[in-house]
Structure 1
Amino acid sequence: MRRLQNLLFTFCIALRCVTSAVGVIHVTGNVGSAVNVSCSYDQGYESYEKYLCKNDCGSNDDVLITTSNPVTSKYRIHDDKTARIFTTSISDLRSVDTGKYWCGVTRTGKDIYTEVELKLVKDHCCDTVTKILNYQGYSESISCPYEHQYQNSLKYICRGNRPSTCLQQALITSDNKENGRFRLDDDKMLKKFTVNITSLSQEDSGYYLCGVRRNFAHNVFSAVLLEVEEFCCVKSTKINGTVGHPLTLQCPYPSQHRDNRKFLCKGDQHNSCTDMLKNQSRFTLQDASSSTFIVIISKLEAADAGTYWCGSDSQWRVGNYTKIQLSALYVIPPVLLLICILVLVYKYRHSRIEEAVLSLQRNASRKKSSKKVIGAAQSEIYKNQGVVTSNDQSTSNVYEEVDVEVHYENLTASE
C-alpha cells in the first residue's frame, strides 16, 4: 500500500498535483547541532498518521520517521493534536542532511504534503560584528535592532558566537527582563531591544549574540564584540604629607580643557568619589598654568589620607585625570624625640645591669653548691679512716682500760 502511495506521489509531483497545507517551509540549522521541523495540518486529521520523508519520497527508504514509530537514533516526531502541529527533530546535523523534505499526512487516495527546505550553516555568527569599547566600573548598553515582523517575538542575549546554544545559555530574555547586572528593554516603536550591563569588568570582554526567536525558521542573530579595558590615567602618584602642615597637590590636564570645571574628589573608585572642593573649606583650587592646576590643603589631618582623583573632564574620559595616593604622617617634636631616646637608652642599660646581676647570682650559687659537695666528700674520707684506726688498736685499748681501773682503786680518798 505504501509503495502504491509513493508511486502515486511521484506521479503527482510530475503533474504538480501535490496537495500542500502551506507554502514551502524554510528551515536553517547549524552543523553538529539539532533542528526542529514543524508542520501544521487541518482539522479532522488529528488521528491520521504523520511522517517526514526526504527527496521525492519515492521509496520506503525516503521515509525517515512516522508517528507510529516516533523515535530513532537521529529523528524524533511528536504530534500536538490540540494545536494540530507535528514536529520532527533532526539531531547531529551533517552536510548530507541539507536539501528538500516533505511533511506528510497519510490518508486514503493521496497524502497531504508540505515542502520543507533545510539549509545548514556553520555554528558561528556573524559576518558583521559591532565593536564596543568601554572601561571597567562603567555601564554599557548593547543595542539590538530587529525587523518589524518580530515585534512580539522572544528576544535574548548570550555570551559567545554559537547560535545553536544561544537561547539555552541566554543571560537574559524579554520574558525575564532583569538578571543581576543585566537588564533588557524592548522598544517596539524603534524596533530594537537594549541590554544594559552595569559594573563592567575585564571578564565581561568577548562576543555577545543578540537573538530573536522565530517559530518556523532559524533564529535571527546579530553579533557584538565588547572590549572592557582598565581605566587608566595621565599619571598615578604617591604623596606624603605631614599632619598639621599645609600640602599642595598638582593636577595636570589637557590644554583644551582650560575652561572646563576642575575637580578633586576622594574615594577608592573614581565613579563614586566625594567632591572635596565642595565639602572641605581647607581645600582650595588655583590655576598654576594653562595645563596644570593645584589644590592646597591648608592644614593636613590624619583623616585626609586616602585615594584622590583630580581632572578637568566631567565625563571621566580615559587619560584626562590624575590618581593620587596620599599618606598623612606625624612629626615628633625634638624635645619629645630626645626624651624617647633617653628612655630607650635607660631601659637598655637597666636591662644590661639586671642581666649582669643575675649572672653573678647564678655564679655564686654554683660556688656554694661546689663547697657543699667537697665538704661532704672530705667528711666521708675521714670517717672511713677512723674506722680503720679503731680496728687496728682494739686490743691495746682493752688493756689500757683495765690498767686505769686498777690505778683508781689504789688511790686514797684524799688523793
Structure 2
Amino acid sequence: MGILQNLLFTICIALRCMTSAEGVIHVTGYVGSEVNISCSYGQGYESYEKYLCKNKCLINNDVLITTSKSRENKYRIHDDKTARIFTTTITGLLSEDAGKYWCGVTRTGTDIYTEVMLKLVQDSCCDTVTKIESYEGYSESVSCPYESQYQNNLKYICRGNRPSACLQEALITSDTKQNGRFRLDDDKVLFTVNGTFTVNMSSLTHNDSGSYLCGVQRNSDLDVFSAVELKVKEWCCVKSIKIKGTVGQPLTLQCPYPPQHLDKGKFLCKGEHRTNCKDITSQSRFKLEGNGSSSSFSVVITKLEEADAGTYWCGSDSERRPGNYTKIQLSVDAGQYVVYAVPAVLLLLICVLVVAVYQCKHQKVKDGKAVMNRNAENEEGLEEVTAGAENNIYGNEEVVRYKQQSACNNYDDVGEDEPDYENFTTSEEVYCNENFHRR
C-alpha cells in the first residue's frame, strides 16, 4: 500500500510539471512587509477556481487561499479575468514564509500548477551611504545613480530606510517631476554604462535632515536603491564674533576668508538673518580694506552711530555659503564717555565740600577763642569799673545832673526850631522829659 501511494505521488508530480505554466516565478519580499504573487492562466479558465498552496499541495492545510474565499488570515487573492492573472498578497511576512509555492487552477482531472519561489530579505538598505551636508535656507541636489538598462524605468526618492514602503511614500517620482520643494531630473544619456537622476531640494530646514532612498522600479524583482544621509545645519553654527564700539569713534571689523577666495569679491551686509541681509558697503562711512597676507579683510567704520548696532555678515563667497561666512554682533555704547566724566565731577565736588567743612570748622574754633578772650577782658574791665564806680558814684551824680540841666536849657533856647535829636543820647532825652513833666 505504501509503495502504491509513493507511485501515485510521483505520477502526480510528473503531471504537475507537465501542466505547469511557463517556468518558475521568482518573487522577493521584505521581512515584516507584504508581497504579491501574480500568476497567469490560459483562455477559457476565467470562471475556474484559483488558489495558492505551499509545499506539496497534497493536503488541505497546504492550500492557503482560494478565489472562492478571497480573504484568509494573512492572505488575500484577486482574479483579474480580463487580464487572466490572479494575484495573491501575503502580509506580515516572516522568515519562515520563504520557500516554494504553487499557483493552482482547479479543473476536472489534474489541476494546472505554476511554481513560485519566494525569497525574503531584511527591510533595510544599504551597505553604502552617501553623506551630504547643507545649511538652512539653501538648496541641495542629490544624485542617484542607476544602470543604463533602467533608463526608462520609474525613478523616485523617499524618506527613511525602508525599501518596502519607499514607492508608496515617495516624495517625488519621474512621472511628476515637480512636487513643492522637490524637483526630479533624469539625465538619460545613451550608450553609457550608468545613468543618473537628480533630486533638487530647495529651502532646506533642519527638519529635512535624515535618511533618504533613491529608488528605481523593477517589475520582475525588488526595486534598486541607493542610500543618502542628509544633514542640514542651523545658521547658529557659523563663526560668530561679538564686538563693542563707542558712538563717534572709529571701529574696525575683521572678516577672515579661506585662502582660495583671495581673488573673490568680499561683502558686508546687515540683518538678523542672512536671508534679509542688506549690503551696506555703499555707505561712505564703511570702507573695505583687503589684507591678503592674513587671509582676512577689514571693514573700517569711520564714525560709529547708535543705529550701527546689530548683526552683520561678512564673507568672500559669491554664493554666500555658510562655511565662508562670519557673523558679527555689534553693540554700540552711546554713553561711555559719561561713565568716565561723572566720577571726576563727583570727586571734585567732594573735595570742595571737604575743604568748605574744614574751613567752617576752623573759623568756628577761631571765633570761639576770640569770644573767650573778649569775655575774659570784659570781666576784668567790669571788675575795675565796678570798683571805681563805688568810689565815684556821688561825684558822678553831680556831673550828670549838671549835664542834664544844660541839655534841657539848651533845648528851651532853641525856640521853634526843631531840636537836633542827633546830638542827644537816649539817657539825656529821658532826663529832659522828666524835667519837662515836672514843670
TM-score, normalised by the number of residues in structure 1: 0.69
Check if 1:212 corresponds to 2:212: no
Q: CA deviation at 1:60?
A: 3.0
Q: What root-mean-square deviation, in Å, do the aligned CA atoms of Structure 1 and Structure 2 show?
A: 3.3
Residue identity matched to 2:290: D
Aligned to 1:192: 196
Kindly indicate whether the alpha-carbon contact (under 8 Å) linking 1:10 and 1:57 is maintained by their aligned counterparts in 2: no
Say if 1:237 and 1:325, in contact at 8 Å, map to a contact too.
yes
Secondary structure at 1:296 match in 2: strand
CA contact (8 A) 1:9 1:110 kept: no
Q: CA deviation at 1:78?
A: 0.4
Taking the TM superposition and a 5 Å limit, the aligned residue runs for 1:220-369 are 220-231=224-235, 235-243=239-247, 245-255=249-259, 257-270=261-274, 273-277=277-281, 279-288=282-291, 290-291=293-294, 292-316=296-320, 319-331=323-335
Partner of 1:26: 26
Maintained 8 Å contact 1:139/1:196? yes
Shift of 1:88: 0.2
| CA-CA distance at 1:7 after TM superposition | 8.9
Residues 66 and 77 of structure 2 are in contact (CA less than 8 Å); yes or no, is this contact kept in structure 1?
yes
Identify if the C-alpha distance between structure 1 residues 66 and 233 changes in structure 2 by more than 3 Å, giving closer, same or farther: closer
The answer for the alignment partner of 1:371 in structure 2 is none
1:245 Cα deviation from its structure 2 partner = 4.8
Q: How far off its partner does 1:120 sit?
A: 0.8
In the alignment, what sits opposite 2:128? Answer: 128
**Closer, same or farther in 2 for the Cα pair 1:18/1:281, shift >3 Å?**
farther
Deviates more, 1:259-268 or 1:34-43: 259-268
Partner of 1:157 in structure 2?
A: 157
- Rg (Cα) greater in structure: 2
- How has the CA–CA distance of structure 1 residues 81 and 124 changed in structure 2, closer, same or farther, with 3 Å as cutoff? same
| Equivalent-residue separation in structure 2 for 1:33 and 1:234 (angstroms) | 43
Please tell me whether the aligned partners of residues 31 and 94 of structure 1 are also in contact (alpha carbons under 8 angstroms): yes
Superposition deviation, residue 87 in structure 1: 0.7
Helix, strand or coil for the counterpart of 1:101? strand
Partners of 1:257 and 1:304 in 2: CA distance: 27
1:36 Cα offset (Å):
1.0
Relative distance call for 1:194 and 1:255 in structure 2 (3 A) is closer
Secondary structure class of the residue paired with 2:28: strand
Partner of 2:116: 116
Q: Which amino acid aligns with 2:284?
A: S
Q: CA deviation at 1:17?
A: 4.2
Q: In 2, distance between residues paired with 1:306 and 1:83?
A: 70
SS in 2 for 1:146: strand
* Distance across 1 between alignment mates of 2:209 and 2:144: 18
8 Å CA contact 1:304–1:328 kept in 2: the answer is yes
| CA distance in 1: counterparts of 2:143 and 2:292, whole angstroms | 43
Structure 2 residue 180 is matched with structure 1 residue 171: no
Q: How many residues align?
A: 331
CA distance in 2, matches of 1:233, 1:166: 32
Range 57-66 or range 183-192, more displaced: 183-192
Larger helix proportion of the pair:
2
Q: Does the 8 A contact of 2:16 with 2:113 survive in 1?
A: no
Q: CA deviation at 1:28?
A: 1.2
Measured in 2, the distance between the counterparts of 1:234 and 1:161 equals: 30
Name structure 2 gaps, 5 residues minimum: 1-5, 346-439
Cα gap change, 1:333 to 1:239, in 2 (>3 Å): closer
Tell me the amino acid that sits aligned with residue 159 of structure 1: R
Q: What TM-score does the superposition give when structure 2 sets the normalisation length? A: 0.66
Aligned partner of 1:182 in structure 2 is: 182
Q: Secondary structure at the match of 1:69?
A: coil
**Runs of 5+ consecutive residues of structure 1 not aligned to the other structure:** 1-5, 342-415
1:327 Cα deviation (Å)? 3.3
1:105: Cα distance to partner?
A: 2.0
2:181 maps to a residue whose letter is R
Which AA in structure 1 matches 2:209?
Answer: S
How far apart are the structure 2 equivalents of 1:310 and 1:139? 21
Deviates more, 1:9-18 or 1:82-91: 9-18
Please show how residues 45-56 of structure 1 align to structure 2 within 5 Å.
Answer: 45-56=45-56
Tell me how far apart the structure 2 counterparts of residues 56 and 246 of structure 1 sit (CA, whole Å). Answer: 93
